[in-house]
């Protein structure tokens, strides 16, 4: 299977090689995250608490985003990319592709380190730290991924790590798209996200190629076991972190009932389902091209998740909807 590398000019293009280290620049705007991407702050119950509370919650959302990045890279993507680089992924891949995986490991380690450092710098400058580790839970994708693994037969477990990495690496460039363009945000925040987005554009192409190699390499039994869980892996990555949001809402004085109401009304399940299906449509196309939907249960699972609407018109790659937030 042919492989066309996007890493030929990695030394010139990768953020870890090309740009100076990004530090937080204090004194800029105090809006840290686009409110439209965290719609709980637009809910009347939250908005009534005043601008300072809203801005404080948006700062917390930025911390969550940075922590999510560090966890995702460190716990999900780097282990998989390392296995690919060492020829231990279980896949037969071109030498060039395995060599490129080292560059992805380096990129992701840099994203994790930079996100961690950047959050600490913001906390020091603003004197508004994020939740303490004992207050905050793990990012939602981790327990969701654990639950997904439990649904797999024992002899197929392990494939979900590769699938989840394919899912996250092909969808992350979409969710990073809006922030660099938002002039209401501090310049250094936008620059950090822009650097990350540019690297992830290359990773997207790479992991699309990994999927092309993975699916035919699975046995029919493995495909039947793993295929129906792909929409759940997409939801694990793209659904908002409801529990963490509830913690933030409670910390600004909302009751448990108010917090539940704000979350339910800000992210109505049916609207979320449609938004996720739209955001995932390029990936649905990749799984279709790889032959994953030839299995009836897998196809039914995508259909049930609302992901097959318009699959016949895959002539363009849609951008994720504005209201979308991770």
Encoding tokens for residue 160?
Answer: 């979900």
Binding mask 7-46 for Fe ion (x = CB under 5 A): ----------------------------------------
Residues in region 71-130 near Fe ion by CB under 5 A = 108, 111
Residue 208 is a binding residue for Fe ion (CB under 5 A): no
User: Among residues 168 and 266, whose Cβ is nearest to Fe ion?
Assistant: 168
Binding mask 164-183 for Fe ion (x = CB under 5 A): -----x--------------
Residue 203 is a binding residue for Fe ion (CB under 5 A): yes
Q: How far is CA 56 from CA 33, 47, 61, 124, 129, in A?
A: 10, 12, 9, 15, 10
Decide: 51 and 143 in contact? Cβ < 8 Å.
no
User: Among residues 169 and 239, whose Cβ is nearest to Fe ion?
Assistant: 169
The closest of 230, 264, 227 to 246, measured between CA atoms, is: 264
Decide: 222 and 214 in contact? Cβ < 8 Å.
no
Residues in region 181-200 near Fe ion by CB under 5 A = 200
User: Among residues 196 and 235, whose Cβ is nearest to Fe ion?
Assistant: 196
Residues in region 217-276 near Fe ion by CB under 5 A = none
What is the 8-class DSSP label of residue 39? G
Closest approach of Fe ion to the CB of residue 204, in Å? 8
> Which backbone phi and psi does 171 adopt, to 5 degrees?
-105, -20
Of all residues in the shown chain, the one whose CB is closest to Fe ion is: 203
Helical residues (DSSP H) of 176-320, grouped into ranges: 187-217, 220-226, 230-238, 242-251, 256-266, 269-279, 281-290, 296-304
Rg (CA), the chain: 20
User: Among residues 46 and 78, whose Cβ is nearest to Fe ion?
Assistant: 78
The closest of 176, 194, 183 to 324, measured between CA atoms, is: 176
User: Among residues 107 and 239, whose Cβ is nearest to Fe ion?
Assistant: 107
User: Among residues 104 and 185, whose Cβ is nearest to Fe ion?
Assistant: 104
Residue 204 is a binding residue for Fe ion (CB under 5 A): no
Binding-site ranges for Fe ion (CB under 5 A): 108, 111, 169, 200, 203
């Amino acid at each position: 299977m042919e492989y066309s590398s996007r890493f030929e000019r990695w030394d010139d293009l990768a953020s870890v090689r090309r740009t100076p280290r990004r530090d937080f620049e204090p004194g800029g705007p105090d809006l840290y995250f686009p409110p439209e991407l965290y719609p709980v702050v637009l809910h009347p119950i939250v908005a009534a608490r005043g601008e300072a509370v809203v801005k404080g919650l948006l700062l917390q959302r930025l911390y969550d985003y940075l922590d999510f990045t560090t966890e995702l890279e460190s716990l999900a993507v780097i282990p998989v990319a390392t296995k690919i680089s060492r020829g231990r992924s279980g896949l037969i891949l071109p030498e060039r592709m395995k060599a490129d995986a080292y560059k992805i490991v380096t990129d992701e380690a840099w994203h994790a380190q930079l996100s961690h450092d950047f959050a600490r710098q913001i906390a020091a400058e603003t004197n508004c730290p994020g939740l303490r580790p004992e207050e905050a839970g793990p990012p939602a994708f981790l327990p969701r991924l654990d639950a997904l693994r439990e649904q797999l037969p024992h002899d197929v477990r392990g494939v979900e790590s590769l699938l989840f990495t394919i899912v996250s690496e092909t969808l992350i460039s979409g969710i990073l798209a809006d922030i660099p363009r938002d002039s209401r945000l501090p310049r250094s925040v936008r620059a950090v996200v822009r650097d990350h987005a540019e690297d992830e554009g290359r990773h997207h192409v790479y992991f699309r190629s990994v999927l092309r190699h993975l699916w035919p390499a699975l046995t029919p039994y493995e495909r039947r076991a793993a295929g129906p869980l792909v929409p759940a892996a997409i939801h694990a990555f793209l659904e908002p972190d409801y529990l963490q949001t509830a913690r933030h809402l409670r910390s600004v004085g909302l009751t448990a009932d108010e917090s539940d109401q704000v979350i339910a009304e800000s992210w109505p399940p049916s609207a979320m389902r449609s938004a996720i299906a739209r955001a995932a449509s390029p990936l649905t196309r990749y799984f279709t091209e790889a032959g994953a939907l030839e299995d009836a249960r897998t196809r039914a699972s995508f259909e049930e998740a609302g992901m097959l609407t318009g699959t016949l018109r895959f002539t363009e790659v849609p951008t994720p909807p504005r209201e979308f937030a991770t």
